[in-house]
Amino acid sequence: MVFQAVNDIHYFVAYARTAQSVHQIDQAFVFRHVLCLFTPLLQTSRNPPRASNMNFCSHCGAPVRVEVPSGDNRPRHVCPGCGTIHYHNPKMVVGCIPEWEDKILLCRRAIEPKYGLWTLPAGFMENGETTAEGAARETLEETGARVEILNLYSMISLPDINQVYLVFRAKLLHLDFVPGEESLEAALFSEADIPWDDLAFRTIHRTLMHYYADRKTGQYPMHMGEIFHKPRPPQS
């Protein structure tokens, strides 16, 4: 932090020296860099900040307020300065079941949460990709394996943590997979060897339960469901 402050002062002085006169110094530029020095004063939590932990407008930097905007029906983070309404929406987790003969490819997590537990290759969908591209990219990153994405097999909403899991069936294209940076190992499992007690997530457990039930029939319809982390109020 001290290094950062010194760095910012140097950056500002260097910028100011390039100006022919004081009038050429852009006020907004100066303000932004001076702001850096005050950053520690503004931190309100010892916990690592989360994206939904919004205190300031990401567009203009003013403090936001939580209010119901005109014509809306739920509270949003609204900037009283520039008027931006900040919407927060669920994220998609995209992954696949890479199949090789009667086996599937799992990976063991090298990161939190659920360090050391097994999962299907999956991760947050990125901007600029399709759902299938995201699932293939996550598989490549976590296991080194290339796959051909087949049909959507499982869509599970997790409304209490604002996620939707989309898991595809996929054809594993080669066997020389290697664990990526976020995986301790990657390995093929037959049904009898699935580490049911060491699976990382309920979404993966449920998806694999469907998968092995469907395999008995040879039909793989899409499964839709939800997993709750908190009690829900009774539906009207």
The residues in 123-182 that bind its own copies, with binding defined as CB under 8 A, are 124-133, 141, 151-152, 155, 157, 159-160, 162, 164, 181
Interactions with its own copies, residue window 95-114 (CB under 8 A): none
Does 229 engage in binding with its own copies (CB under 8 A)? Answer: no
Determine the interface stretch with its own copies among 59-67, 98-106, 113-121, 188-196 (rule: CB under 8 A): 59-67
Query: Is the distance from CB of 100 to CB of 175 less than 8 angstroms?
Result: yes
Residue 4 CA to residue 70 CA, distance in Å, equals 40
- For its own copies, the closer of residues 77 and 194 by Cβ is 77
Number of shown-chain residues binding its own copies (CB under 8 A): 71
**H, E, C per residue of 166-233:** EEEEEEECCCCCCCCCCEEEEEEECHHHCCHHHECCHHHHHHHHHHHHHHHHCCCCCEEEECCCCCCC
The continuous run of DSSP H or E covering 17 comes out as helix 2-18
Helices (H) and strands (E) in the chain, counts: 4, 11
Determine the interface stretch with its own copies among 85-93, 101-109, 169-177, 200-208 (rule: CB under 8 A): 85-93
The gap between the terminal CA atoms of the chain, to the nearest Å, is 52
Applying CB under 8 A, among 173, 209, 213, 222 the residue interacting with its own copies is 222
Does 43 engage in binding with its own copies (CB under 8 A)? Answer: yes
Shortest distance (Å) from residue 99 CB to its own copies: 18
Does 54 engage in binding with its own copies (CB under 8 A)? Answer: yes
